[in-house]
Structure 1
């Protein structure tokens, strides 16, 4: 429960979930139970919610993983541009790119927290086609080995990146691989599935804090990729039902879980991505 959130009380008498004794109406503390229903506690028995215990489980989370993140001019999948990209691997792989988006009139949307300006990207970045070709090669090589690509909020990252590949004449990894863009692991989808009734925000910053995962510079592509990698490993170690899934089954289940989650968290994009065509630049709406 987030700090400062109101404490819900019971309207009716009910048995305490810890001791079983009756909790008179109006004197207890209500909490979501593990299956989504409400449980009532005596105030002295109500413990603050805690993340699940990490276990020494075999599974996909102990294999070679690679996490990807990008910093962009905005969140419009077919319009906005990639300014930086980063991958971090459990085998020590660490690659970073800053892209020169070109000389056309671009601007970053208000509120983007990565701190990379258009001017800096033009001055320090390499030509976008060159950087994107390198990135596509790294992603393709990893996925060709049938190892999981870890992406937080995969539909938005991978859809925008797919449009950028096409915009700059780079063959997307989805078109280089016989099985398409798979297998992918999205910790946001996993967390929403495994702990669907937990209150509070589900941003990368909030979820890493919940699981106790270090996240030094939220919004920075390299920091986000590193945090996402560790988060996937922690979630796998925390939920045996997830850890036991094979990589192909994990990918397939996330398609279904995301579709179910989208009924409550509206998302027009497919999971893990939508094959959109790039559109010409349009200035972002004012804040």
Structure 2
């Protein structure tokens, strides 16, 4: 059976900014989707990130510092629960759909380090990740226009429900997009999950190299990270609990 016809999980985060090395998780959603019925079991989290949420981030996801402090749970507690949930997904061999996976998964790994949680599920190679952004760029490399989730969904005729830039809506849209990409491409749909996971690493490396070459034509010192689905921690990364 093609991987997109079986059970899927989809994950998304909302954060304090765009730097996975230093920004913090604010909210997250994990959807478990039954491949036969399409029924979904959502789990959502709201964290107090322990830092101010910039107005620019609030403008995107709608969560203010005051709201997160009043209604969110301690970040360490939330991160631990998310890691446990992803560990269960990995143990079941269910594909995890994450749009722009290197951002969300890297930020989560850095948060795990920050709060002293083991992150084997992220670093041990047990998760099988489906990144619709990487796949869409591979299948339609030269298409002009935005590759933001909402725009790619619109291009492929995928419904984008609910609050834009809310973790549950974004996770659902990513899952729908992954399904559509596979449904429209037999070669993609019939690839073994292990093979597809590995192929996406190669595709992203190619995409990053192409983008890096473009940037280097403008700035010889430009460097683009090309790891997938997790960016390795730099040597100066904060120690566990730091």
- With the length of structure 1 as denominator, give the TM-score of the two structures: 0.72
Tell me how far apart the structure 2 counterparts of residues 161 and 245 of structure 1 sit (CA, whole Å): 28
Q: Does 1:207 align with 2:152?
A: yes
1:108 aligns with 2:108: no
What is the CA deviation profile of residues 198-219 of structure 1, one whole-angstrom value per residue up to 9, with x for unaligned ones? 2211110100111111213221
Between the aligned partners of 2:226 and 2:88, the Cα distance in structure 1 is 25
What does 1:1-287 correspond to in 2, within 5 Å? 58-91=1-34, 92-102=40-50, 105-108=51-54, 110=56, 113-174=60-121, 179-216=124-161, 217-266=163-212, 267-276=224-233, 279=238
Unpaired runs of at least 5, structure 1: 1-57, 281-287
- What secondary structure sits across from 1:262 in the alignment? helix
Residue 215 of structure 2 aligns with which residue? none
Shift of 1:59: 1.1
| Contact map agreement 2:83 2:121 (CA 8 A) in 1 | no
Identify if the C-alpha distance between structure 1 residues 70 and 138 changes in structure 2 by more than 3 Å, giving closer, same or farther. Answer: same
Q: Is the 8 A contact 2:13 2:26 kept in 1?
A: yes
Question: Does structure 2 conserve the Cα–Cα contact (< 8 Å) formed by 1:162 and 1:172?
Answer: yes
Give the conservation status (yes or no) of the 8 Å contact 2:97–2:131.
yes
How many residue pairs are counted as aligned between the two chains? 219
Higher helix fraction (1 or 2): 2
Q: CA RMSD in A?
A: 1.9
Q: For 1:214 and 1:171, how far apart are their aligned partners in 2?
A: 36
Runs of 4+ aligned structure 1 residues displaced above 4 Å come to: 277-280
Larger radius of gyration between Structure 1 and Structure 2? 1
Q: 1:108 to 1:181 in 2, by over 3 A?
A: farther
Deviates more, 1:267-276 or 1:246-255: 267-276
Say if 1:218 and 1:269 are closer, same or farther in 2 by CA, change over 3 A. Answer: farther
Deviates more, 1:110-119 or 1:254-263: 110-119
Deviation at 1:109, TM superposition (A): 6.0
* Alpha-carbon separation, structure 2, partners of 1:199 and 1:263: 18
> How far is 1:196 from its partner?
1.4
Q: Deviations over 1:230-285 (max 9, x none)?
A: 111111101111111000000000010000011233541510012326549xxxxx
